[in-house]
Amino acid sequence: MKSSFNCLEDLLANNYPVIACESPLQERHRLLTRIAAYCQNTGNKAYIWNLNESSIKELAVGVKENLILREFNDYKPTVKQNKEDYFQVLNFWKGYSEIGILIVENIFPWIKENNNQSADFLIVSSWIKSSLINLKHSNQDSGKTTILLGHHAEITSEMAAIIPLWTQELPDTQEIIDNLINSKILPSTYTDQDWLEIAYSSAGLYISDIISCFKDIEKTHPTGNSSEIAKLLLSRKIQLLNRLYDIEFLPPPKVQLGGLELMQESFKKFKRLLTPRAKQYNLRVPKGIMLVGPPGTGKSHSAKACSQNMGIPLIMVDWGNFRSFGNQAEVKLKRLLRLVDRLNQVILYFDDFDKGFAGDDDLAKRLAGQLLTWMQERTSDVLVIASVNRMEWLPPELTRAGRFDYLFKVDLPNNGERHTIFKLHAARFDKRFRNSNDPWSEDEWRRILKATNRCVGSEIQTIVERAAFSIFCTMTAEDTYTSSELPPLELTIEALLEERRQINPLAIREADRVESMRNKADQQALPSSLRDESKFAVGNINIFS
């Protein structure tokens, strides 16, 4: 499989007069070095121009494969009287007699679709577009190529038809291994398995970022083995991805989920679709899963449970935040989808998916269309999960069959599920609940479950945490510290009931809205939970006792 750079070199070899190139800023130095090396190998020259320099520099590669910038005196810009004079380099290159490659940086703001711009801006934009079209026709088969370089290559639709676009993709594992071996920053004694482990840990980063991470690791762990290096690299990668993409990247977490057995069983089956045997039968993971239900019922926690059951990382994204990016929203989504495609086996979780469509504007529709197109055409093993409170806010095309393959209703927990959720949270503070122990009687549990009817998982968590805090304050003097063994913290029925009295559950406070959400989910979604067959089920209560 060709690397991203090889595809660019193919375009250069075919003598395209103008090429649009999209490359991230951190890869700029490597890209310029690669283009300069290509020109030296083919007997051509490479030049670069940008607004900051306002002059042309010649690019070359030294004996140590370092990038060299030399003065170029053939281009002498005239005094700038008009705004378009800043871009007179285009006319110079059209008439220049020598052959080679001229890199023009950061010109895309003037050649993209421009709306609501000033008259002066539109005049300059039209002048630049006309100059590029003239370049395209004048330099055809001349041996001269103009590379338009920027971190986001966006051009008008009419120009896109005549200017090919090259996008620097994230490197695959083999490309990562090849570049790391050539860089000689890791021991040559590594085995093929060592290199593969390193490559998997760094997948999703550009080569420049990977090398930068290795240099940081080398300062603190100069003699680490491959497994230790891979773990440190993964940690740095997670921090970098979170910052670059505004996401929360989580390795498969260890979580406990109370109830929702039907949905969890489906998650375990989905794991089998990642196996080579499933690929032999042309089976693949679902296009998408939608979790529908009132707030606080455990939709985000369910996504983490899916990550745990399938053994693949989880990327959590607030879909509503895309609207805050304005004109950059589609670019942000495009970059994110490229990332998950390269990571391949990963869960992409969109939290509060419906809130991004509350405004019913053009941006929301374009984002939805972009996501749906990707979901339909992707070939990677990315599982998309979206949580939804109000299905009526979603465009109809999102909920029809063939879009999201599975819709699960994540409902208010029944008595048996609330019992399990209480025990899970109580075990964090009270040792008596650990190892499947249960210090309370059935009647005591019935008091709690009756009092917490219509409470969701997040509210139960709050009740337990506040009760533990209250008991801690009564058993421990203020501002005291002791190194001796701490007395056990034991939760009481009375403390839990007191905390319950102090909160007003959402399903009671906003009963009409919550019931509307549940009814909408009932109409289209599959149940997530089995019928309550526990001893605390409503049908098992003796009303005559």
96: domain CATH number is 3.40.50
Residue 368 located in a structural domain: yes
pLDDT at 480: 62
User: What distance in Å separates the CA atoms of residue 422 and residue 466, rounded to the nearest whole number?
Assistant: 13
Look at the block and give the residue holding tokens 């909408």.
520
User: What distance in Å separates the CA atoms of residue 17 and residue 21, rounded to the nearest whole number?
Assistant: 13
User: What distance in Å separates the CA atoms of residue 463 and residue 455, rounded to the nearest whole number?
Assistant: 10
Q: Which long-range contacts (CB under 8 A, 24 or more apart) does 363-366 make?
A: 363/323, 363/326, 363/329, 364/323, 364/395, 365/395, 366/330
Of residues 170, 144, 113, 161, the one with CA closest to residue 45 = 144
Q: Are 11 and 114 found together in one domain? A: yes
Residue 538 located in a structural domain: no
Domain hosting residue 226, numbered range: 173-245
Q: Are 387 and 423 in contact (CB under 8 A)?
A: no
pLDDT at 294: 92
What are the distances in angstroms from CA 541 to CA 252, 259, 401? 39, 20, 40
Domain end among 409, 427, 447: 409
Q: Are 98 and 118 found together in one domain? A: yes
pLDDT at 545: 41
Quote the strand ranges of 76-196, DSSP E.
Answer: 100-105, 144-150, 165-167
User: The pTM is what?
Assistant: 0.87
Domain count along the chain: 4
Residue 494 located in a structural domain: yes
Q: Are 90 and 106 found together in one domain? A: yes
Q: Give me 463's structure tokens.
A: 């009740």
- Residue-averaged pLDDT of the chain: 89
Q: Are 218 and 81 found together in one domain? A: no
Q: Are 511 and 458 in contact (CB under 8 A)?
A: no
Q: Are 149 and 297 found together in one domain? A: no
pLDDT beneath 70, residues of the chain? 1-2, 79-81, 115-116, 359-360, 477-484, 539-545
pLDDT at 543: 42
pLDDT at 544: 41
- The CATH code of the domain that includes 437 is 1.10.8
Q: Are 231 and 376 found together in one domain? A: no
Q: Are 218 and 319 found together in one domain? A: no
Q: Are 91 and 49 in contact (CB under 8 A)?
A: no
pLDDT at 132: 92
Residue 524 located in a structural domain: no
Quote the strand ranges of 112-207, DSSP E.
Answer: 144-150, 165-167
User: What distance in Å separates the CA atoms of residue 490 and residue 492, rounded to the nearest whole number?
Assistant: 6
Residue 545 located in a structural domain: no
Q: Are 379 and 453 found together in one domain? A: no
pLDDT at 486: 75
Q: Are 136 and 269 found together in one domain? A: no
Q: Greatest CA span in the chain, whole angstroms?
A: 102
Query: What value does the CA radius of gyration of the chain take, rounded to a whole number of Å?
Result: 30
- Helix/strand/coil for 221: coil
H or E segment and range at residue 318: strand 314-318
Of residues 264, 55, 44, 18, the one with CA closest to residue 138 = 18
Q: Are 85 and 110 found together in one domain? A: yes
Which one-letter DSSP state was computed for residue 405? S
Of residues 317, 393, 303, 307, the one with CA closest to residue 350 = 317
Residue 541 located in a structural domain: no
Q: Are 357 and 317 found together in one domain? A: yes
Residue 514 located in a structural domain: no
pLDDT at 258: 81
pLDDT at 478: 64
Q: Are 430 and 349 found together in one domain? A: no
User: What distance in Å separates the CA atoms of residue 405 and residue 87, rounded to the nearest whole number?
Assistant: 51
Q: Are 59 and 67 in contact (CB under 8 A)?
A: yes
**Phi, psi (5° rounding) for residue 250?**
-125, 125
Domain end among 409, 427, 444: 409
Per-residue pLDDT of 342-389, as tens digits, reads 999 999 999 989 888 776 678 888 888 899 899 988 889 999 999 999
User: What distance in Å separates the CA atoms of residue 159 and residue 21, rounded to the nearest whole number?
Assistant: 14
pLDDT at 171: 93
Residue 226 located in a structural domain: yes
